């Protein structure tokens, strides 16, 4: 089984259900430290089960001369992204893809390989990325 997923991401400390590190940690480093005996595939499977139902969001600047930020997101959930709705605020009840399209110009698409959101970002880049709503 092949997982096409960009694991070079940082996840916020709130994402950890039990033991939390003291600062945000790069996901692959955390997976390797947590389950050194497992293969990468098994680590991802274990993490997905543990973080099930959570959506993580990190953002980064697009560059020194550009305005705005690039959002990266990863939905650790078996629920399709289109079924997840915003809770609270003026856009409460809005499906997640519509929210991202309207608010950030980001197009969310489903991943066939993994229960993760697949994003095409405004700058044209794409990938499986980490949104805490």
| Amino acid 124: pLDDT | 45
Residue 89 lies in a domain: yes
| Amino acid 63: pLDDT | 52
Q: What percent of the chain has pLDDT over 70?
A: 27
Expressed as residue numbers, the domain containing 95 is 53-127
Residue 32 lies in a domain: no
Give residue-wise pLDDT tens across range 24-78. 455 666 677 778 898 877 877 777 666 655 555 544 444 555 555 455 455 555 5
Residue 48 has φ and ψ, to the nearest 5°, of -60, -40
| Amino acid 101: pLDDT | 74
Which of 32, 3, 4, 26 has its CA nearest to residue 13? Answer: 26
| Amino acid 108: pLDDT | 59
Domains identified in the chain, total number: 1
Beta bridge partners of 60: 70
For the full predicted model, state whether its pTM sits above 0.85. Answer: no
Collect all residues with Cβ–Cβ distance below 8 Å to 112 and sequence separation of at least 6. none
């Amino acid at each position: 089984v092949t997982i096409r997923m960009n694991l070079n991401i940082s996840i916020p400390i709130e994402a950890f259900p039990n033991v939390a590190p003291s600062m945000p940690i790069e996901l692959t480093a955390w997976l390797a430290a947590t389950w050194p005996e497992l293969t990468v595939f098994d680590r991802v499977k274990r993490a997905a089960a543990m973080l099930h139902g959570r959506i993580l969001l990190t953002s980064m600047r697009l560059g020194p001369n550009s305005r705005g930020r690039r959002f990266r997101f990863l939905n650790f959930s078996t629920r399709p992204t289109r079924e997840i709705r915003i809770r609270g605020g003026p856009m409460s009840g809005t499906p997640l893809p519509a929210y991202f399209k309207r608010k950030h110009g980001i197009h969310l698409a489903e991943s066939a390989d993994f229960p993760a959101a697949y994003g095409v970002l405004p700058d044209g880049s794409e990938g499986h990325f980490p949104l805490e709503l």
